[in-house]
Amino acid sequence: MVSNIAKTANLASSVLKSSVAQSLKINHPLSQSVRSAGTAAGATTITVRDALNKAMEEELDRDPDVFLMGEEVAQYNGAYKISRGLLDKFGPHRIIDTPITEMGFTGLCVGAALSGLKPICEFMTINFAMQSIDQIINSAAKTFYMSGGKQPCNITFRGPNGAAAGVAAQHSQDYSAWYGSIPGMKVISPFSAEDYRGLIKAAIRDPNPVMFLENELLYGESFELSEEAASPDFVIPIGKAKIEREGTDVSVISHTRNLLFCLEAAKVVKEKYGVSVEVLNLRSIKPLDLDAIFATVKKTGHAITVEAGFPGFGVGSEICAQVMESEAFDYLDAPIERITGCEVPTPYAKSLEDFAFPDTPTVVRGIEKVLSLGEWA
Amino acid sequence: MYKQMIIIRRMEMAADALYKAKKIRGFCHLSVGQEAIAVGIENAISKEDDVITSYRCHGFTYMRGSSVKEVLGELMGRRIGVSNGKGGSMHMYADGFYGGNGIVGAQVPLGAGLAFAHQYRGKKNCTFTLYGDGAANQGQVFEAFNMAKLWNLPCVFACENNKYGMGTSASRSSAMTEYYKRGQYFPGLKVNGMDILAVYQASKFAKDWAISGNGPLLLEYETYRYGGHSMSDPGTTYRTREEVQNMRSRNDPIAGLKGHLLDFEIATEEEIKSFDKAARKYVDEQVKLAEAAPEPEKKMDILFEDVYVPGSEIPILRGRIRDDSWDFAKKGFAYR
């Protein structure tokens, strides 16, 4: 039973969220720029939020050992409404609201996973998971190895990662690189609704601890979903990147919401210079799809990486190192350029926050640099 | 229970000797003096109940079903060890035994999770979640208490209060040292952890309490370790030798049970001597077997094994140098 206060809160929050989403909505015809996985016939359009919601519902249906635990996931229907309706369908036994005690409930979820259940442990934002990081890494990720293969831990951690809009420094960090370095973890960072759908299923079914990094600003975005992707057993294998746009002159390697800017930038440089950009959607941070990265670099001979994490020791750094160490290095006609978040704690004022994360003009500048165009001509 | 306690005592003493002989590396936290707790709890619960504790875990690993050879083997980093030599002293697991945890206090929310799983599955089982006086002040312990009481979890929180968190006495670490009261809104019992009959009865009571839907219970087992915090701590810089001697001579759990056995004429002096002899013989044999056992082979596929569940590995794990990276599909080096 949702109290009247909660109902009002729900209403207020959904109005607020949709208006924020509207004001941020970039004019990008996504349906056209994203290749659908199957035939056009039978395809539908779905928001990331609904894709996640439906996918979790199906996994909860499929396996009684799966449950969802986190702050506001049940009665509030999810802080971002990702778990809307799940409490009504599955009841408080499977959809569980927690107190605001991240370290405690994360440890509790890990303990349940050690016992053989399959928890989905939701963090309201991945920033809050810093409170739980010992449980995630030392109790979950390393345990199978430390136990000599005796004690698996089938757990899925998920929540919005990286920036929202105007939420400032403590609520805007991108943790892809932190979790990406841990042996024993898998780290996923989806982009399209199809990615979210196929990869959350893969994550829940995967017997290892998986960190599923979402993006709050993507929740309201709509994408085309192919008929194939709508099947309940549609699972995307973890570790396979996807070419979002084929090209020949430069490879733009990115993940999550940054791909919106990459796809926009591809259009801009096509018009301005006739340059053909290949955009690679990593989908997976750990493991990185090295084969796909090397293949695109070898194809185009120029590359940039685009991510929202802090620049030092990041996903882009790792990609540069991997390429440099590989046979793909010989195919580069220019060093790889990294586009990253800015090295500041995220400022609040919009005029400054605009400098904190990649956007279309910055990606364009990156492409221009590696191709010696624009100011580098 | 007497036999079990003396095996643990002998096993821990063997570990002490092996550590001094440099056959055991790294950390080694012994439970000499605290044997009654592992033995008392095990006798009070069933195989379907769980136990989870911290790094002072060798006695529990044995009681939950591992052999002395497997425990000592793990300590010496041998392949026959409980965790195939990959974990060491602090990371031992068995059926219904979830370690062996190296991070102080982290095991407490895990234990609440194990209890949650019993409840989720509708099983009438409980989880004994052990932690020390040093861990009792951890925030996550209270987070676990809160959820356990809120959701009525069948979790017995058991504080093994051996009076010292490493070198810091309880009174120097804790504003309130009555640890059984720390579960402010659920009941707690203080138990003489040096008296195995008390430990046994209290543990039985706690199990019944937890599985009858009463939610969590806090047990404080008041106990003592004769050794230091670990093998690198002599244990005498923060407490007097007299104190240690006093506990050993007047409160030893093994001597205490022996006294009962004799007083109640359950066993004779000769019989007890034969138990002692049998335990020594068994442990000595197991030590020999463990010492003779090989370490894990120095092969990359063994090194990289079990980072992920077999069949679900990521394609490549990197070695110290790129050339030493391992390809799981190929079952060989990735870049050679």
The residue among B159, B161, B131 whose CA lies nearest residue B222 is B161
Q: How far is CA B263 from CA B66, B215, B223, B256, in A?
A: 32, 38, 23, 11
- Give a three-class secondary structure readout of B39-93: HHHHHHCCCCCEEECCCCCHHHHHHCCCCHHHHHHHHCCCCCCCCCCCCCCCCCC
Q: Indicate the average pLDDT of chain B.
A: 97
Which domains does chain B carry? 2-292 (3.40.50.970), 301-336 (no CATH)
Q: What ipTM score was computed for the predicted complex, to two decimals?
A: 0.97
Instruction: Inform me whether the C-beta atom of residue A67 falls under 8 Å from chain B C-beta atoms.
Output: yes
Q: Please name the member of A103, A147, A287 whose beta carbon is closest to the beta carbon of B140.
A: A103
CA distance A95 to A70: 8
Conformational region of residue B304, where left means phi above 0, alpha means psi within -120 to 50, and beta covers everything else: alpha
3-state helix, strand, coil in chain B (%, to 5): 45, 10, 45
Which residues of chain B does A98 touch, with a Cβ-Cβ cutoff of 8 Å? Answer: 147
> Phi and psi dihedrals of A256, rounded to 5?
50, -150
User: Would you say A139 and A107 are in contact if contact means Cβ atoms under 8 Å apart?
Assistant: yes
User: Would you say A333 and A301 are in contact if contact means Cβ atoms under 8 Å apart?
Assistant: yes
Up-side HSE of residue B67: CA atoms within 13 Å toward CB? 13
Which tens digits make up the pLDDT trace of A148-181?
999 999 999 999 999 999 999 999 999 999 999 9
Instruction: Inform me whether the C-beta atom of residue A110 falls under 8 Å from chain B C-beta atoms.
Output: yes
- Within its chain, how far is the Cα of B179 from the centroid? 19
Distance in Å, alpha carbon of B308 to nearest chain A alpha carbon: 6
* B83/A116 CB distance under 8 A: no
Instruction: List the single best residue of B116, B325, B330 to mutate versus A (max A Cβ within 10 A).
Output: B116
Q: Please name the member of B140, B146, B150 whose beta carbon is closest to the beta carbon of A107.
A: B140
Which residues of chain B does A103 touch, with a Cβ-Cβ cutoff of 8 Å? Answer: 109, 139-140, 143
- Within its chain, how far is the Cα of A18 from the centroid? 20
Reply yes or no on whether the pLDDT at B219 is more than 90.
Answer: yes
CA distance B114 to A61: 23
pLDDT band at A40, cuts 50/70/90?
low
Q: Please name the member of A107, A147, A325 whose beta carbon is closest to the beta carbon of B93.
A: A147
- Within its chain, how far is the Cα of A321 from the centroid? 22
The residue among B35, B78, B80, B81 whose CA lies nearest residue B57 is B35
Which tens digits make up the pLDDT trace of A189-223?
999 999 999 999 999 999 999 999 999 999 999 99
User: Would you say B52 and B94 are in contact if contact means Cβ atoms under 8 Å apart?
Assistant: no
This prediction's pTM: 0.93
* B143/A134 CB distance under 8 A: no
Which tens digits make up the pLDDT trace of B287-304?
999 999 999 999 999 999
CA distance B243 to B225: 11
Which residues of chain A does B115 touch, with a Cβ-Cβ cutoff of 8 Å? Answer: 111
Reply yes or no on whether the pLDDT at A25 is more than 60.
Answer: no
CA distance A245 to A263: 8
A-B C-beta contacts closer than 8 Å: 148
Reply yes or no on whether the pLDDT at B262 is more than 50.
Answer: yes
Reply yes or no on whether the pLDDT at A30 is more than 60.
Answer: no
* A105/B109 CB distance under 8 A: yes
Per-residue model confidence (pLDDT) at position A232: 94
Per-residue model confidence (pLDDT) at position A2: 44
pLDDT band at A41, cuts 50/70/90?
low
CA distance B161 to B129: 13
Which residues of chain B does A99 touch, with a Cβ-Cβ cutoff of 8 Å? Answer: 143, 146-147, 150
Give residues with Cβ within 8 angstroms of B100, minimum separation 6. Answer: B53, B55, B57, B61, B87, B90, B91, B92, B93
Which tens digits make up the pLDDT trace of B86-139?
999 999 999 999 999 999 999 999 999 999 999 999 999 999 999 999 999 999
The residue among B197, B137, B126, B186 whose CA lies nearest residue B161 is B137
